[in-house]
Every structure is written in C-alpha cells, then in structure tokens.
Amino acid sequence: MPVVRYRVQVFVLSAVYAAVAGGLYAHFLNYVNGTFFDLPVMVELMAMLVVGGIGTRWGPIVGAVPLMWVSQSLGRYADYSLLIFGALYGVALLFLPRGLCGELVAWEAGRRGRS
C-alpha cells in the first residue's frame, strides 16, 4: 500500500479545497487583505482544533461550538480574548491531550473492551 502517495494526494486535495475556499471568500468580500487572518483569528482556530481533537474527523466542529459560545458570551471582555483562548488551549492540552472527540473515542474503546 503506497502510504506516501496517498498522503500526498490528500494534501494536494486539501490544498485545492483551501484555494477554492479562499477564492470564493475573496470574491464574496470584493477585497483581499492579509489582516483578515491575523494572530487572534489564528489562535482561535488552533484552540478549536486542539479542544475538539486534531486527529479526528468531527473534532474541529466539536471544538468550534463551545469556543464560539465562549467567544460570543464574553463580549464585554473582548480585550482579554487572546488570554481566555490561551487559557482554554492550555487546559485542553493538559487535561484533554487528544481533544474532546479523541477522549470520547478512547472512552468508547475502553468501554467496549470491558464488555
């Protein structure tokens, strides 16, 4: 099984999806600027990935839901958003190293193993 070839194909396919999404986003905004994805946005995206689970299919979505809820509910503390997301990122790395979905999969596998 040519694993390297499959990985390259998946990487190219994801790059194509990213290029199409970027093109559609630029067309939607009618303007392209590098500040759309600055540090706070990148920290938010990384926190979503880590909280949800990096190696899982549904992890980013599961991570996005609680973090977007936190982001929207802490509107008056917007100045501290990087600090809050950094703290959530650190807590997730310490206590949920596989993310929410990864821990759920491990718990389910352990439960099936005991049955």
Residues 49-104 pLDDT 10s: 888 888 888 888 888 998 888 888 877 887 887 788 788 888 888 998 888 888 88
What is the reported pTM?
Answer: 0.64
28-43 residue pLDDT tens: 988 888 777 788 788 8
Residue 20: predicted pLDDT = 95
Residue 89: predicted pLDDT = 80
Nearest to 103 by CA among 68, 47, 62: 62
* Burial class (CB within 10 angstroms; exposed 0-12, middle 13-18, buried 19+) of 107: exposed
Cα distance between residue 112 and residue 68, in whole Å: 33
Unique residue bearing structure tokens 């600027």: 33
pLDDT above 90 (res 16): yes
Residue 88 contacts residue 70 (beta carbons within 8 Å): yes
Domain range annotation of the chain: 1-32, 33-114
Tell me the two tokens of residue 14. Answer: 């994801």
Tell me the two tokens of residue 48. Answer: 């979503």
pLDDT above 90 (res 6): yes
Residue 115: predicted pLDDT = 58
Cα distance between residue 106 and residue 23, in whole Å: 38
**Helix/strand/coil for 53:** coil
Give the ranges where the chain is alpha helix by DSSP (H). Answer: 3-29, 39-52, 59-73, 81-95, 99-114
